[in-house]
Amino acid sequence: MRKKVAIIGAGNVGSSTAYFVASQGIADVVLIDVVPGLPQSRAQEFSHVDRLQGFGVTITGSNDYEAIKNADIVVHTAGIARKPGMDRMDLLRINVDIARKAAKAILTYAPDSIVIAVANPLDVIAMVCLKETGFPHKRVFGMAGILDATRFRYFIAEATRTIPEDVFAMVLGGHGDTMVPLPRYTTISGIPITEILDKKAIDSMVDRTRTGGAEIVNHLKTGSAYYAPAASTAKMVHAVLSNTKTVSPISAYLTGEYGYSDLYLGVPVLLGSEGVEKIFELPLNDEESTALKKSAEAVQQGITLLNSL
């Protein structure tokens, strides 16, 4: 029997995620949204594409949370998009309320599922999903570091005229302007970029990685990135369903790792069928530790606001 992936939110990120997951051909997909006709139309169109591309899975849409019943993975993308001049934390009040309703539905209809938070502010939304479902924290995590590292990889490949597949990048911290790209742990075919690029070039790419999402927002004016976040999420779904034991940076719940507890923060993990199967602690120098502390404090501010709602 094929696995089932439920995606809450049929907007740009959710529908793109549904498409990328379906194209892997490893799970049936159901799209959920409160807007009448939206998830149904997206699902029908993707089903038409299936006849051309041969995904070989079932794609459906519904306005009823009950449709997520018995899902193996639930991806939460529902929420308003960030607009120009809007910080991720500005989204908190609206998107937290949406996430709470979704998490309660997940607990009711898919109590054995793994939950991937995608809506922003991502690290805070992951905490909402954890608290409202009461699931083990290894089964609730967020898509963040994979996207941030992908952007870092692209900028490095662009600067060095190499292919992104040859670049391995590491990014820690919250999913926002305080994220912590780590050049020391970033390589091109195993060679640290600190041995290839000068500090000025690296600093420029680090800064652009931090503002990569805002860069796209400024171009779009009325929306935010969705293809790359969706592809990053689909990669996580594949890692869980196929038990690939992928090592990637994601937003994971910390219980003392890196000196932080009761907090979601981007860290490298082993991702497999059980969810977060291991968190890797990288030795950090003083500069990296200071940057991670700043990032953790920014996430904590969001958690503090969450606890006051």
CA atoms of 265 and 205, how far apart (whole Å): 21
What residues act catalytically? 175
Q: Tell me the three-class secondary structure of the chain, residue by residue.
A: CCEEEEEECCCHHHHHHHHHHHHHCCEEEEEECCCCCHHHHHHHHHHHHHHHHCCCCCEEEECCHHHHCCCCEEEECCCCCCCCCCCHHHHHHHHHHHHHHHHHHHHHHCCCCEEEECCCCHHHHHHHHHHHHCCCHHHEEECCHHHHHHHHHHHHHHHHCCCHHHEECCEEECCCCCCEECHHHCEECCEEHHHCCCHHHHHHHHHHHHCHHHHHHHHHCCCCCCHHHHHHHHHHHHHHHCCCCEEEEEEEEEECHHHCEEEEEEEEEEEECCEEEEECCCCCCHHHHHHHHHHHHHHHHHHHHHHHC
Q: Which of 75, 83, 63, 11 is nearest to 42 (CA)?
A: 11
